[in-house]
Amino acid sequence: MCESCGCGETAGHWHDHGHEHGHEHTHVHGHDHGVAGGRIIPVRSNALALNQRLADQNRGWFRAKGWTVFNLLSSPGSGKTALLERTLAALDGSAALVGDLQTERDADRLRAAAGESRAVQITTGETCHLDAHMVAHALDRLPGDGVRWLFIENVGNLVCPASFDLGEKRRVVLLSVTEGEDKPLKYPVIFREADLVLVTKNDLAAAVEFDRAAAEANIRQVAPKAEILAVSSKTGEGMEDWLRWVRAQGE
């Protein structure tokens, strides 16, 4: 990716190269390779190291700018964009980057709700998550002036986005009441690092017989550090608590 966009990142040179020297590695350690005569070359390269480095760069940039940045993660259709429509409209100095495979629809919705300069779409093509590199490039398209709070709406997906730090300060995982109380147990990895789990579409809780106590117990099991709040972007219920939590993260 980096080789093709000309941003200066040379993805091929960030890791410690494996040995280029010619010495033979002995096989004193019991590898289970089946074919005799093979030579083992240690590499120890981390596939996510480049993303981590770029995420740390983003984090430094956000800090220098005085922005507080949130990474919003959830399955598709759990209400990330609806939450942001309300949030951007209510919170001065807020902006959003929104990730989807295709279309500008989410950014269009946010611009309609909060103003032309407040949202930038990242279309990922076939990629199922945002990474720190995409975010760094999208920042060029944000106005910059007057931004204090940045929300990054990740691609709707409860699996892959968990692996990619974007440089955010806080991770927010949304769980809509229609998804079922056991979703956190089924996708524990993405919930583990959540700072906040936001139960969304709370206006539908009664209609779908949402068991709040069971959901909270499941969240606490897989996301022990997370706070839990409930909101309805439709009725506005819980929005004040959410905005209070957001503001508290900037202190």
Kindly list the residues in this chain that would bind another protein in the complex (CB under 8 A): 11-12, 15, 17-20, 31-35, 37-48, 50, 159-163, 185, 188-190, 192, 221-222, 224-225
97: DSSP letter: E
- Closest to another protein by CB, 105 vs 225, is 225
What is the DSSP annotation of 185-224? HHSHHHHHT-SEEEEE-GGGTTTTT--HHHHHHHHHHH-T
CB of 242 to another protein, least distance (A): 22
What is the per-residue burial (b if ≥16 Cβ within 10 Å, else e) of 130-160? bbbbbbbebbeebeeeebebbbbbbbbbbeb
CB of 184 to another protein, least distance (A): 8
- Closest to another protein by CB, 221 vs 235, is 221
CB of 46 to another protein, least distance (A): 5
- Closest to another protein by CB, 37 vs 66, is 37
Q: Rounded to an integer, what distance in angstroms lies between the CA atom of residue 69 and that of residue 107?
A: 17
How many C-alpha atoms does 38 have within 13 Å on its Cβ side?
9
- Closest to another protein by CB, 73 vs 199, is 73
CB of 189 to another protein, least distance (A): 5
- Closest to another protein by CB, 52 vs 57, is 52
C-alpha torsion sign, points 66, 151, 183, 242? positive
Q: Rounded to an integer, what distance in angstroms lies between the CA atom of residue 25 and that of residue 110?
A: 58
CB of 214 to another protein, least distance (A): 15
